[in-house]
Amino acid sequence: MESAPCKKMQSALRAGTCIMRAAFMAALFAVCLFFSVGSLIIKINSAEKACLQKAGKGMEHCGNIRPAAADDAARLAEIYAPYAEETVITFEEQAPNAAEMARRVQQTQREYPWLVYEEDGHVQGYAYAHQLQSRASFRWSAEVSIYISWLQRGRGIGRALYEQLENRLQKMGCIQLYAQIAVPNPESVGFHHACGYEDIYLYPHVAYKLGKWCDLAVLTKQLQLLPEHPADLTDWRP
């Protein structure tokens, strides 16, 4: 007969063997899980990288930026409407309809770019420029504006639009850009600062909308060095 100590030793050995097997299986499962997750992460990162390469460094979108067309007018009016009717971001109080928006696009594009950001066939934002003031001597200075669909903000669409807008303005010969922002609006001011614009002036109590007085901040960005004799502007289209 086996002694009690021997039985205890055998039981301990069997228990230890079971524990080792369980530990081995747990380790094997962890290794498999690690490589499975790692493979998934690599696939996700590869897809994200392809998206960023298409849209631009640091962006979170894979859309297309192109000149606005007449067919975009209704969607542009739809994007702009809540800004005009519900905020002081623009001092316009009545949102224009599609026909009016089409007229504005056509008029702007005679001399300056009006671009849209399109994703999966749906316009999600737009940016445009126009001469700062009507007199001819102002023609090398442009005012820029941008509006993004309310639920699409924060995805980098605005920066992508501005990059292409500024690139076209620079190629056509514009030297100084200006952005006029109703304040307080820390989101828009911060966005323009991140895009390289600097504060230069503040018009206090310049407008009254939605039951309050609003200030107007003016920011500027210089696209290129000041030439002694600037050349005439060229067509903004490629």
CA distance 166 to 176: 10
Which CATH superfamily hosts domain 64-222? Answer: Gcn5-related N-acetyltransferase (GNAT) (3.40.630.30)
pTM of this structure: 0.74
| CB neighbour list of residue 152: distance below 8 Å, 6 or more residues apart | 124, 125
pLDDT value of position 43: 38
CA distance 125 to 105: 14
pLDDT value of position 41: 34
Q: What's the pLDDT tens digit per position in 202-222?
A: 999 999 999 999 999 999 999
pLDDT value of position 38: 44
The residue ranges of the chain whose pLDDT is under 50 are: 2, 6, 9, 13, 31-58
For 36, 41, 42, 54, 79, the CA distances from 45, given in Å and listed in that order, are: 14, 6, 5, 14, 32
**Beta bridge partner(s), residue 128:** 114, 145
pLDDT value of position 113: 97
Strands 64-67, 114-119: pairing kind: antiparallel
